Amino acid sequence: MNRKGVNMEFPIRCFTCGGLIGHLYEKYKELTKDKPQADALDALGVDRYCCRRMFISHVETIKEVSRYPRR
């Protein structure tokens, strides 16, 4: 996360259709604490399968990657 608390790893746009999805990721994380993933995506209005895939398949790896020093 950057200093404003925004996750910098999740893509801003869907890789397939180019739809804007980056602004929905934090809300998605909050909703999935209480709801199943499908219900959270429905509540956010993410209807396209390609965009839904971006949320469901995303894995946060920044903590593991940041442990290694830069060369």
Higher pLDDT residue, 1 or 27? Answer: 27
Q: What is the pLDDT of residue 3?
A: 47
C-alpha span between 51 and 2 (Å, rounded): 24
Q: Give the whole-angstrom CA distance, residue 49 versus residue 64.
A: 29
pTM of the model: 0.76
* pLDDT above 60 for 4: no
The pLDDT > 70 percentage for the chain reads: 89
* pLDDT single digits (tens) 38-57: 999 999 999 999 999 999 99
Degrees, nearest 5: CA angle 42-48-54? 85
